[in-house]
Amino acid sequence: MDEGKRATVAKELERVVGGKYVRADDVTRWTYAIEDFGSTFFHPLSDKYGTPDIVVKPHSAQQVSDIVKLANVHKMPIIARGGGSDMTGAATPLKGVGGIILDMTDMNQVIDYQEGLNAVRVQPGIRWGELHHELAKKGITTGVRGPHGFLGGTLGGGISGNCFSINSPKYGWVNENVLNLQVVLPNGDIIETGSLANTKVKDWYYRYCHGPDVVGIFLGGAGAFGVITEFTIKTYPIPEFSENLAYSFPDVDSQLGFMFKLEWYGYVTELWGIAYFALPDSLKKIIGPLLGERDIVALTTEAYDQDIFRAQKKAVDRMAREFGGTPLPVGGLMKALGLSVTDTTEWEGGATFGKVMGPNGSDTCSIAPLPRWAKVVEGVLEIMLRDPDALSGSVPMIGADRFFIFPQILASGGVCQSVAMLPVDFSDPEKLKKAQKLYSDIVDFYLDTGLAAIYRIGKESQYLMKRLKPEYISFMKTLKKALDPNNIMNPGVLGLGLEEEQ
């Protein structure tokens, strides 16, 4: 965009939100071009992505509506952005396309909570940590705690990107807990869904009524079909009784069988595991002498009643022993160290991940059915070990120059993360190129075998669009064109809005 037009549009936006909340300087534009994905090896910023033309911070749905109408006049893309912790390019403009970034983080209020409705209404810019803190004052929780290690991520980004979540085994995925949406459509209209579609309803929150479940169109849509400006999410009382348990198993089949049955029976709130065969040599040298060549599970179980809690722990222990599990006495140690499978810091998220993997960690966010998890990881390991140099990166805590890890993170529905976490050496262009090829081959494997699914897509959709059924792609494109004829809503996300280039 030429500087004259940029200045003109910026002035018009200032009339909507005020001069304080519009920025078009180079420092701001480049800052917003580099979200979390910008530091990961498979998204070199110079390759496909660029800067926004303008950044604006709205404070209400009406302001978002006015901005969207203005964008239609100027045929400028609109990209809603939350905390910037996405790793798929969803909130970053394509090079040569640019557009207006809507920084939603000032729309961060808890709008309504009423006891008995079992839901809280919020703006999308509120961060997971902020909401947990506010709800805890009332003795309630959303159950799901947001993406692993990212309490600074926004709820709006989480539901738009279909994020995996802490506590998913008990409470389901984040988007399964969303009830109503307020959305600004691509033409600027503001709609509300579910029970709130009725003009007479002000504070009753229910999703499945008044016709089709249109909420699902926008969840995981990454802003392709509209901008979410409010939503309601389920709440639950905070369990009074909670404990971390850990077991080791003789083989991965026994371990996965335990995980599947545990989630099926509803005894687990959160679970992480490690399969010995999927560890790099650097970790095998640490774990092997301590525990033997066994597969590990650490979990949290919770209840509201003490008698039920005791019975549930006994049931978990019986189930573990049924699969050859041996208890590991780590619960007291974790408590002494201030660690938990699920707490405000999260034992395998955030800072812990950074210390282990280094600043260059990257991953391939995907899920696989538990009975197929080992087969998926075996295939990925085969790909990775074709070229071990591609795994060269910084691993400060462990001191390994070649490293990877496949954390088993359980989710509801009998699925488990099949993510491959990989550090890479940014300082060596040849190794960086090898790492990019490695990532592409892994994602191709996931999709070509049909054994795993990528759940966060963003603008890295070229892998997916080649495998989706043509009728499904046609439906998505038809929906996009009908709602967004000017193609202003985050063009390129989910592979939509790029027909001319294709």
Confidence of residue 75 (pLDDT cuts 50, 70, 90): very high
Q: What is the pLDDT of residue 500?
A: 47
Is residue 412 over pLDDT 80? Answer: yes
For residue 338, give Cα distances in angstroms to 150, 211, 241, 246, 296.
18, 48, 17, 16, 20
Same domain, yes or no, for 232 and 250? no
Same domain, yes or no, for 151 and 79? no
- Picking from 383, 320, 148, 112, the residue whose alpha carbon sits closest to that of residue 231 is 112
Residue 264 lies in a domain: yes
Side-chain-side CA neighbours of residue 344 (13 Å): 7
Q: What is the average pLDDT value for the chain, to the nearest integer?
A: 85
Q: Which domain holds residue 7?
A: 3-105+483-495
Same domain, yes or no, for 255 and 341? yes
Confidence of residue 42 (pLDDT cuts 50, 70, 90): very low
- Picking from 348, 370, 296, 364, the residue whose alpha carbon sits closest to that of residue 326 is 296
Same domain, yes or no, for 267 and 374? yes
Same domain, yes or no, for 10 and 112? no
Same domain, yes or no, for 345 and 222? no
Are 138 and 131 spatial neighbours (Cβ–Cβ below 8 Å)? no
Of the candidate ranges 240-249, 253-262, 329-338, 383-392, the one whose mean pLDDT is the lowest: 329-338
Same domain, yes or no, for 314 and 426? yes
Model confidence, pTM: 0.90
Is residue 265 over pLDDT 70? Answer: yes
* pLDDT tens track for 204-229: 999 999 999 999 999 999 999 999 99
* pLDDT tens track for 180-208: 999 999 999 999 999 999 999 988 999 99
Same domain, yes or no, for 160 and 113? yes
Tokens linked to 105: 């983080």
As a whole number, mean pLDDT of residues 51-74 equals: 97
Residue 149 lies in a domain: yes
For residue 29, give Cα distances in angstroms to 59, 92, 106, 195, 312.
20, 10, 18, 39, 53
Residue 468 lies in a domain: no
As a whole number, mean pLDDT of residues 241-260 equals: 95
